Amino acid sequence: MPIATINPATGQTLRTFQPLTADQLEARLQCAADAYHRHRRTTFAERASLMRKAADILEGEKEAFGRLMVTEMGKPLKAATEEAAKSAWGCRYYAEHAERFLADQEVKTSASRSYVTWQPIGPVLAIMPWNFPFWQVFRFAAPALMAGNVGLLKHASNVPQCALAIEDIFRRAGFPEGVFQALLIETEHVRSVIEDPRVAAVTLTGSNTAGSQVASAAGKVVKKTVLELGGSDPFIVMPDADLPAAIATAVKARIVNNGQSCIAAKRFIVHEAVADEFERGFTAGMAGLAVGDPMEAGTDIGPLATEGQLRTIADQVDRAVSAGARVLTGGRRPDRQGWYYAPTVLAGITPESPIFREEVFGPVALLFRVRSVEEAIRLANDSPFGLGASVWTRSDADRERFVREIESGMVFVNAMVASDPRVPFGGVKESGYGRELSPLGIREFVNAKTVWVA
């Protein structure tokens, strides 16, 4: 896949980029190594001052950054502008809290003093996806740089201008040369970067296939990885739920980011007592969404990010229908230029259907009916993924059962799943391992060094 900006609303190639040569890549890796040895010796106060300046740039130019995201991957402009602002929030959060999160931790032993000190480990390679081209990067970069590490970004090949813009933000904020660099390289060269002895660790957000390949390459050279992979999040609605709120949130949770989000609700598991009413309201809500130019204010759904993504979604729906699924709305490409797919609701899906166990990365919802809490939990867990879950109930007892028994990294009760700098983000099973955000996120790429003073 070429490194290029291709507008998904038109299919037009706007700009192409030459990948780094071997010599250029070598220079950037050495620059990162040299920068790390200087950056690790700076104080938290010094790093925080620069990180706040990065936040100021993000906030001050959020509309321009939003338009850049829309141009490269097609999300609605309002969402893209909010993403830039959220990235600023992440920068400010770690600027404010990093020193406390990484403060020496005293441990009472027989020694005169014993404690754990948290120290940076070196350049961290981030392999990031196109769906949240700013937020995914900043939620890695803010804690990594505040911890004293330096960042190397291998961004998705269809968002090169976003990658370069982020590098420029850190440079303009005053971070020294080499502390954060974007590597415009082709996928086949990623393994050599992972294996380079100057790279200390790797974090990846992406597909299960990519995660497996990165973990294998990093494991071969004994390097730490954090993987945030796919998701097929359940959205469970019980009879005592606030049904209008659940329906409205369900539509939003399915089509966030044009449906291209790991934590978007994808499997809607509804108790039979309210299933008819939920189906009517949810289907009407999906059918009523405005599909159109993502730059226009009234657009709810823009195009999918790539032509390949569009083909995958169309194929998944076609195979599901061939296996017996019913299309309640959508199930087709709109008659317009660009990589659009109509908001779709499928029902009557059986475990034998391929789509039952796949991640559907687009505006396609799978609707299921259940008869009990037990059946809802069993169906929610009948997935290779375990990223997030949303449950809707007023019952304290049912809530506690869902929290205890659903196999996922996150459970949101009477709310849609979302990332927040203050709480850990990550999953279990094939959704990956490790955590981003919160105190846990900044401690993923540090050395927890034990100190024992006799």
Q: Which residues are catalytic?
A: 228, 262
Q: How far is CA 326 from CA 135, 316, 348, 350, in A?
A: 36, 13, 6, 11
Residue-wise burial string across 105-117, b where 16 or more C-beta atoms lie within 10 A, e elsewhere: eeeeeeeeebbee
Identify residue 191 by its one-letter amino acid code.
R
Q: How far is CA 414 from CA 180, 222, 244, in A?
A: 39, 41, 12
Q: What is the CA radius of gyration of the chain?
A: 23
Tokens 């009413």 found at: 277
Q: How far is CA 290 from CA 298, 307, 327, in A?
A: 7, 20, 19
Q: Are 126 and 117 in contact (CB under 8 A)?
A: no
Q: In what order do the strands lie in the sheet with 446-453?
A: 105-106, 113-120, 446-453
What 3-state class would DSSP assign to 168?
Answer: helix
Residue 180's contacts (CB-CB under 8 Å, 6 or more residues apart) are 141, 145, 150, 151, 153, 166, 167, 170, 171
Q: What is the DSSP letter of 356?
A: G
Instruction: Decide the pairing of beta strands 428-429 and 385-386.
Output: antiparallel
Tokens 């948290």 found at: 118
Q: What's the CA gap between 69 and 137, in Å, rounded?
A: 13
Element (H, E) at 326: strand 326-329
Residue 273's contacts (CB-CB under 8 Å, 6 or more residues apart) are 239
